[in-house]
């Protein structure tokens, strides 16, 4: 990443001076806004058009084809030729459906290519190649309107083949954006990095953004617009909806007769996910103004309704909360997984880790208390963690609040709760203005309200907690919004339903019966990435453009706006939400580029304020009378430069930086009424907590907790193989969700395997399989079958189920993985509820886990010194954190003289104190290094391919163990056991200390893996790579070889990045600078736990970290001399609770 910064510095002045545009936009991004009925815009093979949109001018299909061989391509071409003029194909798919074309697409080599040894044959082959390129790139037959996107770093004129460009963009997830840089190789986005300038990223990423590249190239994505399941066209779609929209418009413009009951909303409904996009907001609101009877519903299955409602409860209006964990010494989390989920989590993790990190100068740490109902990453790294049932969190919160001196009655029914509350209250009290109380998204509004009041009482507001206006375009309670829609559908009030993104048929609450009720809507339209469960029930399905294919905008957790710019033309002629809404506003030809740019032009003209919403009645009338094609707006991309000069600079800068300047929401002085001055006295009476309904009395019996899945989220990533195979942070399960219960509850239910009176998961026989008992979960009369996973630290009598599984129409990857927890999730208890019944079914289910042993303080394992840990106080006594028995490293005991690494010596330091187990590094590594997905059966056989894994270990009681995360990648041993045993020298040591792997030389004896004490080597037991799916070929990193079967592979510290930096440095005749090389894992890490660099340079960050006393080598006594070393875990427990 350092390199990017540096390059940006070079690139920046060139356009800030008003110089040349850094990049000729035509050459980098094909035209995503060409009118769709014209098939030329749909890119069959995006490579060709990206490489050079003009290519087909150079090679017009008719001229290059040799008619003599009567090749099929020629036939197609001839057909196309014949169809020129007004007879366009109705869609590319129609063309693509023809047998000949299919064959051209699917043949590995063009016909006759096998004759290429023969000189004559080779010539023909080249001709055919040219022809197929030309065929795929007809795009250039149309005029290319200019759409400019700006590269992040590089000089404008040069696209050097083989050198990637970086473009700033942003990924929206459930509405909120995270700013990213997308690495583009000759027009193909291959890798996502964080954007250092974006407040939600600061250069880091989360798993979802890392995996989004695979989402883009997913061959299962919806590839065509369909009507009643038949492939159709955009123009047919426009033709079909226009009368319907006009009817609605007419209905709305009529004075409502008494007989027409419009009070409940008119016939047109729009259902979106959470919207933060200013442009989309403007569009929807304009549409609503034009058709006042229309209604806008928002729903996110894993949305933040409680957060919004909690703020409303505390402040009387919706507000957005932004936390400054970098200023907080004490943090109390009330069931909040703020480090690993939610809009600002990447940023929060960075801030939190910075405040926590120890260094030579900094000897203080923050302290984290977590009260939680599930086992989360945040809870796992807490200094004190109190597992309680979800319904008891409010009681604990009230009790702590009570102990703060408010006199409010405590309601915790945990015996340890009182002591806890006392200690936390004391600690919070000592850190007024530098503490944070944060409530979890799944806790009810009351708890959020208590958190706000506590932050107010502690004087944190304005310091560590700030409030702004909501970031959402239209904050609503999604739960009730969806319920209203469902009821209206039931009542037959909905004529036309436009579903923009989302998959409500799958993920709506079970009691809303969405799948049944949606059938009562006359016309249903679904815009989505996949032809999914909802699409199946809609007459029209419009394929959505992936964010890497779209022009759009979105806001981050603090309100900062990013313009989303596409990296590639839509692979499958997908449409953005903007384009679909434009169609509803009689602007069917408008491309999202124009829509977004026009919006920002207006906003720029208005001095940065959102432009006023005006009904578009006049336009509508005009365009409705005219033909659709004349609806091209006057302000399209070709606006005169003089008029938009200032805007142009603003636009370019916004695109380049990835953030629109000064758009962070301004701080609003919200405060809950009443501030606590001291522990006993109030300046103003505290808000009567009874205004919040009393917590529901905790009912005995089992509770169920619903959570978004840590990898597939709410189900939208179910077809993403990287995320499916990404082990869940603690359970290390892949490809499945499970009913997670505590060991004690498992014992009581008689599930799992009993080991000395303790229930544990039953390990299978084939590698990483867990033979889980299946149970039937019955909740509010609905039933679902689920395998049980026993997780230490889970509160007793509480069952956590993760959403997002059990998809039936996700695609080849996601179908039939796991069970559908939505089937028992109801709108009155979306996050948790009591009264769950569990019945053992007597059957078992195989789960695939990448780690099946987590305990490290059993008698056998204590001496292994795998994780060094201790409290801050212990660290002062024993700065190395080494256990007493530690064997002195007999490092010098070699007969051979030590090899001298003269130039560079690469090394890595991993601070386990900072690691939160979020797994962004794992997916980043997978994306960077072309690591294949192997599937559940192979994971169960313990053959997953991740080069980097995050081990999780437990210490202490199984009810609430201490948890440690340890990222393990190739340790790059100086005396590597693997190198010694390879019979063909396929793994050898480099002069810079890297343990290189020569894939081409490997014959696959697996001896190296056997002899690796860290078991970081991965073997291609079968052909795991998909060499045949065209779209996946585009995804791969061209700098890393794609391994076939029978070959061993492993981490190389991203040697391709090292080499690139070395080449750059050699050109400038200098050493590689510290920080210039960031390995993929390091770059992605939100907490900067991973640091890579040259250990020969004593000033490098990694050298300094390795000099710290708590630096240690994993299995150091084996004398492997690893280059990767770890910093022991330091926790900062409260002495008051130490002996609890």
Partner 1 sequence: MQDDSKSITPDRTISPPSVLGEGLTFASVTDKISTIALSKRTPLWWFVGAGVSFSLAMLLFYTIGYLVLTGIGIWGNNIPVGWAWDIINFVWWIGIGHAGTLISAILLLLRQQWRTSINRFAEAMTLFAVASAGLFPLLHTGRPWLAYWMFPVPNTMGLWPQFRSPLIWDVFAISTYASISALFWFVGLIPDLATLRDKSKNQAAKIVYGMLAMGWRGSARHWHRYETTTLLLAGIATPLVISVHTIVSFDFAVGVIPGWHATIFPPYFVAGAIYAGFAMVLLLAIPLRKLYGLEDYITMRHIRNMSKIMLATGLIVAYGYMMETFTAWYSSNTYEEFMIKNRFFGPYAAQYWTLIFCNVVAPQLLWLKRVRHSIAAVFVVSLIVSVGMWLERFIIIVVSLQRDFLPSSWGMYQATKWDWSMFLGTIGLFLSLMFLFVRFLPMISIFEIRGILPQAEVKESEG
Q: Which of 318, 530, 819, 1014 forms a contact with partner 1 (CB under 8 A)? A: 1014
**Is the dihedral angle over the CA atoms 823, 826, 827, 830 positive or is it negative?**
negative
- Is residue 1046 a contact residue for partner 1 (CB under 8 A)? yes
3-state secondary structure of 818: coil
- Is residue 160 a contact residue for partner 1 (CB under 8 A)? no
- Is residue 1013 a contact residue for partner 1 (CB under 8 A)? yes
**Is the dihedral angle over the CA atoms 672, 675, 679, 681 positive or is it negative?**
negative
- Is residue 1019 a contact residue for partner 1 (CB under 8 A)? yes
- Is residue 852 a contact residue for partner 1 (CB under 8 A)? yes
Distance (Å, rounded) from C-alpha 600 to C-alpha 472?
18
Residues 165, 23 contacting (CB under 8 angstroms): yes
Instruction: Please name the residues in contact with 426: beta carbons below 8 A apart, sequence gap of 6 or more.
Output: 403, 1136
- Is residue 1011 a contact residue for partner 1 (CB under 8 A)? yes
CB atoms under 10 Å from CB of 648, counted, come to 19
Residues 340, 349 contacting (CB under 8 angstroms): yes
Q: Which is nearer to partner 1, 190 or 929 (CB)?
A: 929
CB atoms under 10 Å from CB of 330, counted, come to 25
Distance (Å, rounded) from C-alpha 810 to C-alpha 198?
32
Residues 577, 617 contacting (CB under 8 angstroms): no
Residue 841 in tokens: 């079914």
Instruction: Candidates 204-212, 609-617, 873-881, 1112-1120: pick the segment binding partner 1 (CB under 8 A).
Output: 1112-1120
Q: Which is nearer to partner 1, 9 or 1015 (CB)?
A: 1015
Residues 393, 334 contacting (CB under 8 angstroms): yes
Q: Which is nearer to partner 1, 861 or 1063 (CB)?
A: 861
Q: Which is nearer to partner 1, 289 or 1042 (CB)?
A: 1042
Closest CA to 271 of 581, 637, 700: 581
Q: Which helix (H) or strand (E) holds 922?
A: helix 920-928
Distance (Å, rounded) from C-alpha 442 to C-alpha 705?
9
**Minimal distance, residue 74 CB to partner 1, in Å:** 36
- Is residue 766 a contact residue for partner 1 (CB under 8 A)? yes
Distance (Å, rounded) from C-alpha 1128 to C-alpha 614?
60
**Minimal distance, residue 888 CB to partner 1, in Å:** 15
Instruction: Please name the residues in contact with 935: beta carbons below 8 A apart, sequence gap of 6 or more.
Output: 725, 735
Q: Which is nearer to partner 1, 70 or 861 (CB)?
A: 861
Q: Which is nearer to partner 1, 553 or 769 (CB)?
A: 769
Residues 747, 758 contacting (CB under 8 angstroms): yes
Apex CA 1129: angle with CA 357 and CA 362, to 5°? Answer: 25
Q: Which of 123, 362, 1045, 1107 forms a contact with partner 1 (CB under 8 A)? A: 1045
- According to DSSP, the residues that pair with 1094 across neighbouring strands are 906
Region class of 701: left (phi > 0), else alpha (psi between -120 and 50), else beta? left
Instruction: Candidates 16-24, 503-511, 826-834, 1004-1012: pick the segment binding partner 1 (CB under 8 A).
Output: 1004-1012
**Minimal distance, residue 757 CB to partner 1, in Å:** 18
Give the per-residue contact string, 705-744, with partner 1 (x = CB under 8 A; - = no). Answer: ----------------------------------------
Apex CA 343: angle with CA 340 and CA 349, to 5°? Answer: 40
Distance (Å, rounded) from C-alpha 760 to C-alpha 742?
9
By CB under 8 A, the count of residues binding partner 1 is: 62
Q: Which of 219, 611, 767, 891 forms a contact with partner 1 (CB under 8 A)? A: 767
- Is residue 925 a contact residue for partner 1 (CB under 8 A)? no
**Minimal distance, residue 815 CB to partner 1, in Å:** 23
Distance (Å, rounded) from C-alpha 734 to C-alpha 945?
13
Instruction: Please name the residues in contact with 846: beta carbons below 8 A apart, sequence gap of 6 or more.
Output: 764, 769, 770, 771, 772, 940
- According to DSSP, the residues that pair with 82 across neighbouring strands are none
- Is residue 1115 a contact residue for partner 1 (CB under 8 A)? yes
- Is residue 890 a contact residue for partner 1 (CB under 8 A)? no
**Minimal distance, residue 1024 CB to partner 1, in Å:** 9
How far is CA 66 from each of CA 9, 62, 70, 118, 982, rounded to the nearest angstrom?
50, 9, 8, 17, 52
Closest CA to 313 of 697, 689, 833: 689
Instruction: Candidates 592-600, 765-773, 832-840, 1095-1103: pick the segment binding partner 1 (CB under 8 A).
Output: 765-773
Q: Which of 1007, 1033, 1042, 1071 forms a contact with partner 1 (CB under 8 A)? A: 1007
Instruction: Candidates 272-280, 745-753, 849-857, 1078-1086: pick the segment binding partner 1 (CB under 8 A).
Output: 849-857
List the interface residues with partner 1, window 935-994 (CB under 8 A): 938, 941-943, 949, 951-953, 966, 968, 977, 980-985
Closest CA to 496 of 291, 304, 319, 338: 291
Residues 366, 355 contacting (CB under 8 angstroms): yes
- Is residue 755 a contact residue for partner 1 (CB under 8 A)? no
Q: Which is nearer to partner 1, 6 or 1011 (CB)?
A: 1011
Q: Which of 376, 503, 760, 1020 forms a contact with partner 1 (CB under 8 A)? A: 1020
Alpha helices for 166-262 (secondary structure H) = 207-217, 234-253
- Is residue 763 a contact residue for partner 1 (CB under 8 A)? yes
Instruction: Candidates 810-818, 854-862, 891-899, 1101-1109: pick the segment binding partner 1 (CB under 8 A).
Output: 854-862
Residues 965, 911 contacting (CB under 8 angstroms): no
- Is residue 1001 a contact residue for partner 1 (CB under 8 A)? yes
Instruction: Candidates 6-14, 168-176, 208-216, 863-871: pick the segment binding partner 1 (CB under 8 A).
Output: 863-871
- Is residue 363 a contact residue for partner 1 (CB under 8 A)? no
832-849 and 733-734 as β-strands: parallel, antiparallel, unpaired?
antiparallel
**Minimal distance, residue 927 CB to partner 1, in Å:** 21
Q: Which of 618, 1003, 1063, 1140 forms a contact with partner 1 (CB under 8 A)? A: 1003
- Is residue 11 a contact residue for partner 1 (CB under 8 A)? no
- Is residue 772 a contact residue for partner 1 (CB under 8 A)? no
Q: Alpha carbon 1065 to chain centroid distance?
A: 33
Alpha helices for 541-674 (secondary structure H) = 577-584, 592-605, 617-625, 641-657
**Minimal distance, residue 1117 CB to partner 1, in Å:** 9
Q: Which of 363, 614, 783, 853 forms a contact with partner 1 (CB under 8 A)? A: 853
Q: Which is nearer to partner 1, 674 or 767 (CB)?
A: 767
**Minimal distance, residue 874 CB to partner 1, in Å:** 22
- Is residue 613 a contact residue for partner 1 (CB under 8 A)? no
- Is residue 855 a contact residue for partner 1 (CB under 8 A)? yes
**Minimal distance, residue 936 CB to partner 1, in Å:** 14
- Is residue 883 a contact residue for partner 1 (CB under 8 A)? no
- According to DSSP, the residues that pair with 555 across neighbouring strands are 176, 561
How far is CA 864 from each of CA 699, 851, 1017, rounded to the nearest angstrom?
44, 18, 21
Q: Which is nearer to partner 1, 580 or 933 (CB)?
A: 933
Instruction: Candidates 309-317, 379-387, 1016-1024, 1079-1087: pick the segment binding partner 1 (CB under 8 A).
Output: 1016-1024
Q: Which of 9, 123, 864, 876 forms a contact with partner 1 (CB under 8 A)? A: 864
DSSP strand E in 985-1123: where?
Answer: 987-989, 995-997, 1018-1019, 1048-1049, 1090-1094, 1111-1112
**Minimal distance, residue 961 CB to partner 1, in Å:** 14
Question: Phi/psi at 104 (nearest 5 deg)?
Answer: -55, -40
**Minimal distance, residue 723 CB to partner 1, in Å:** 21
Sites of contact with partner 1 (CB under 8 A): 763-769, 851-856, 860-861, 863-864, 866, 938, 941-943, 949, 951-953, 966, 968, 977, 980-985, 1001-1007, 1009-1011, 1013-1015, 1017-1023, 1045-1048, 1114-1115, 1118
């Amino acid at each position: 990443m350092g390199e990017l910064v540096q390059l940006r510095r070079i690139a920046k002045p060139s356009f800030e001076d008003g110089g040349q545009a850094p990049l000729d936009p035509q050459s980098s991004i094909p035209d995503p806004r060409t009118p769709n009925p014209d098939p030329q815009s749909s890119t069959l093979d995006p490579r060709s058009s990206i490489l050079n949109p003009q290519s087909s001018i150079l090679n017009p299909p008719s001229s290059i084809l040799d008619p003599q061989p009567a090749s099929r391509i020629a036939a197609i071409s001839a057909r196309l030729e014949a169809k020129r003029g007004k007879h366009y194909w109705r869609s590319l798919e129609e063309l693509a459906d023809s047998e000949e074309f299919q064959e051209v697409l699917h043949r590995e080599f063009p016909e006759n290519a096998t004759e290429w040894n023969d000189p004559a044959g080779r010539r023909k082959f080249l001709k055919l190649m040219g022809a197929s390129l030309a065929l795929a790139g007809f795009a250039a037959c149309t005029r290319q309107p200019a759409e400019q996107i700006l590269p992040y770093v590089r000089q404008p004129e040069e696209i050097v083949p083989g050198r990637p460009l970086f473009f700033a963009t942003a990924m929206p997830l459930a509405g909120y954006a995270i700013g990213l840089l997308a690495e583009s190789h000759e027009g193909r986005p291959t890798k996502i990095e964080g954007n250092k300038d974006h407040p939600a990223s600061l250069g880091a990423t989360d798993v979802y953004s890392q995996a989004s590249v695979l989402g883009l190239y997913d061959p299962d994505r919806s590839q065509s617009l369909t009507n009643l399941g038949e492939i159709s066209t955009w123009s047919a779609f426009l033709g079909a909806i226009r009368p319907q929209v006009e009817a609605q418009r007419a209905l709305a413009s009529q004075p409502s007769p008494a007989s027409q009951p419009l009070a409940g909303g008119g016939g047109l409904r729009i259902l979106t996910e959470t919207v933060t996009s200013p442009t989309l907001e403007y569009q929807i609101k304009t549409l609503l103004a034009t058709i006042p009877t229309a209604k806008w519903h928002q729903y996110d299955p894993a949305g933040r309704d409680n957060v919004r409602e909690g703020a409303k409860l505390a402040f009387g209006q919706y507000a957005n909360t932004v936390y400054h964990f970098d200023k907080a010494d004490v943090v109390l989390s009330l069931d909040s997984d703020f480090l690993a989920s939610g809009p600002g989590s990447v940023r929060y993790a960075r801030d939190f880790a910075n405040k926590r990190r120890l260094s030579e100068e900094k000897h203080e740490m923050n302290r984290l208390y977590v009260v939680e109902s599930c086992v989360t990453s945040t809870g796992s790294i807490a200094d004190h963690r109190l597992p309680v049932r979800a319904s008891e969190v409010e009681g604990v919160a009230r009790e702590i609040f009570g102990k703060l001196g408010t006199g409010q009655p405590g309601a915790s029914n945990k015996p340890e709760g009182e002591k806890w509350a006392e200690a936390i209250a004391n600690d919070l009290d000592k850190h007024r203005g530098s503490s944070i109380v944060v409530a979890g998204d799944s806790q009810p509004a009351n708890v959020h309200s208590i958190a706000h009041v506590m932050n107010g009482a502690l004087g944190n507001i304005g310091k560590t907690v700030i409030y702004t206006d909501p970031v959402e375009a239209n904050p609503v309670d999604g739960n009730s919004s969806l319920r209203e829609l469902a009821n209206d559908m039931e009542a037959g009030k909905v004529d036309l339903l436009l579903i923009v993104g989302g998959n409500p048929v799958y993920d709506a609450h079970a009691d809303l019966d969405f799948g049944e009720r949606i059938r009562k809507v006359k016309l249903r339209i679904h815009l989505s990435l996949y032809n999914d469960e909802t699409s199946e029930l809609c007459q029209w399905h419009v394929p959505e453009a992936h964010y890497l294919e779209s022009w759009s905008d979105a806001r981050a957790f603090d309100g900062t706006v990013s313009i989303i710019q596409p990296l590639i033309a839509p692979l499958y002629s997908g449409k953005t939400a903007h384009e679909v809404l434009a169609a509803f506003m009689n602007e069917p030809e408008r491309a999202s580029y124009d829509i977004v740019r026009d919006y920002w032009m207006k906003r720029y003209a208005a001095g940065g304020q959102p432009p006023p919403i005006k009904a578009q009645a006049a336009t509508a009338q005009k365009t409705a009378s005219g033909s659709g094609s004349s609806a091209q707006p006057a302000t399209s991309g070709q606006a005169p430069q003089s008029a938009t000069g200032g805007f142009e600079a603003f636009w370019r800068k916004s695109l380049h930086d990835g953030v629109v300047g000064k758009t962070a929401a301004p701080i609003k002085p919200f405060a809950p009424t009443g501030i606590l001055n001291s522990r006993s006295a109030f300046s103003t009476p505290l808000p009567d907590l009874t205004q919040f309904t009393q917590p529901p009395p905790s009912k005995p019996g089992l509770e169920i907790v619903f959570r978004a899945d840590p990898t597939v989220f709410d189900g939208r990533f179910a077809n993403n193989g990287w995320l499916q195979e990404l082990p869940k942070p603690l359970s290390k399960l892949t490809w499945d969700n499970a009913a997670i219960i505590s060991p004690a509850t498992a014992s009581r239910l008689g599930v799992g395997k009993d080991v000395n009176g303790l229930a544990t998961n039953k390990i299978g026989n084939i590698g990483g399989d867990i033979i889980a008992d299946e149970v039937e979960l019955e909740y509010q009369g609905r039933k679902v079958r689920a395998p049980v996973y026993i997780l230490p630290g889970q509160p007793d009598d509480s069952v956590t189920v993760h959403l997002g599984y059990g998809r039936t129409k996700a695609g080849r990857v996601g179908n039939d993985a796991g069970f559908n927890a939505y089937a028992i999730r109801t709108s009155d208890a979306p996050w948790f509820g009591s009264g769950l019944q569990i019945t053992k079914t007597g059957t078992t289910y195989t789960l695939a886990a990448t780690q099946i042993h987590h305990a490290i303080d059993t008698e056998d394992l204590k001496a292994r010194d795998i994780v060094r840990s201790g409290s801050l106080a212990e660290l002062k006594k024993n700065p190395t954190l080494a256990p007493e028995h530690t064997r002195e490293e007999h490092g010098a005991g070699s007969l051979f003289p030590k090899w001298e690494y003269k130039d560079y010596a690469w090394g890595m330091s991993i601070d386990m104190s900072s690691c939160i187990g979020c797994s962004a590094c794992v997916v980043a590594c997978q994306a960077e290094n072309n690591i294949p997905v192997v599937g559940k059966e192979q994971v169960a056989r313990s053959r997953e391919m991740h080069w980097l894994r995050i081990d999780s270990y437990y210490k202490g009681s199984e009810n609430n163990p201490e948890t440690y995360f340890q990222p393990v990648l190739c340790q790059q041993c100086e005396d590597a056991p693997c190198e010694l045993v390879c019979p063909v020298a396929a793994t050898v040591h480099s002069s810079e200390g890297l343990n290189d792997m020569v894939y081409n030389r490997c014959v696959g004896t697996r001896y190296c893996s056997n002899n690796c004490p860290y078991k970081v080597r991965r073997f291609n037991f079968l052909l795991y790579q998909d060499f045949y799916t065209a779209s996946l070929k585009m995804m791969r990193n061209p700098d890393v070889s794609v391994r076939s079967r029978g070959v061993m592979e492993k981490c190389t510290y991203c040697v391709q990045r090292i080499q690139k930096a070395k080449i750059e440095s050699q050109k400038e005749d200098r050493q590689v600078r510290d920080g210039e090389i960031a390995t993929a894992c390091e770059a992605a890490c939100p907490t900067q736990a991973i640091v890579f660099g040259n250990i020969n340079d004593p000033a490098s960050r990694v050298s300094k970290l390795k000099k710290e006393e708590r630096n240690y080598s994993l299995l150091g006594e084996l004398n492997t001399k690893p280059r990767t070393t770890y910093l022991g875990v330091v926790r900062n427990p409260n002495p008051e609770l130490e002996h609890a």
